[in-house]
């Protein structure tokens, strides 16, 4: 994992079910299972082609039933989770994902590439409290 992803991973709390929204390669989801911080992970991306990279990385976990892969626009097809990560995309896109969700997890870990101020405001409007905030 990159330094950025490692720093993000370190801030994710332990949970039963973890969702990586826009998971890219799936490195954080893999680390969540491998470390025991999550009993189950859901990897999702709006693009089936992009999701394939994560599916390949987590093929064993998918086969064992501890990882589930879904093509989803944000939380649309993700289902219930305790904790979700939305990272590596623009802040406006993260806000769109949060605002369009029918249901959100108890905890969100967010890492926008720009427009951090908009993401903070959006999260607070959605009922979240900012527990940790770092620019890196």
- For residues 42, 45, 50, 54, the Cα torsion angle rounded to the nearest 10 degrees is -10
Query: Structure pTM?
Result: 0.94
pLDDT per residue as tens, the chain (136 positions): 899 999 999 999 999 999 999 998 999 999 999 999 999 999 999 999 999 999 999 999 999 999 999 999 999 999 999 999 999 999 999 999 999 999 999 999 999 999 999 999 999 999 999 998 887 7
Q: Are 97 and 122 in contact (CB under 8 A)?
A: no
In which order are the strands placed within the sheet that holds 83-89? Answer: 67-71, 38-45, 15-21, 83-89, 107-112
CA distances to 18, 23, 41 from 64, in Å: 16, 19, 12
Token pair in block for residue 103: 């249901």
- For the four alpha carbons of 36, 77, 23 and 111, in that order, the dihedral sign comes to negative
């Amino acid at each position: 994992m990159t330094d950025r992803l490692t720093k993000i991973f370190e801030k994710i709390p332990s949970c039963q079910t973890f969702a990586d929204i826009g998971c890219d390669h799936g490195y954080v989801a893999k680390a969540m299972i491998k470390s025991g911080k999550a009993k189950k992970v859901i990897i999702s991306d709006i693009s089936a082609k992009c999701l394939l990279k994560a599916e390949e990385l987590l093929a064993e976990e998918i086969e064992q039933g501890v990882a589930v892969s879904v093509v989803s626009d944000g939380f649309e097809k993700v289902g219930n989770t305790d904790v979700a990560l939305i990272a590596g995309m623009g802040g406006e896109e993260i806000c769109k994902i949060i605002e369009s969700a029918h249901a959100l997890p108890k905890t969100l870990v967010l890492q926008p590439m720009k427009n951090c101020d908009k993401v903070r405001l959006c999260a607070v409007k959605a009922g979240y409290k900012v527990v940790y905030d770092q620019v890196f």
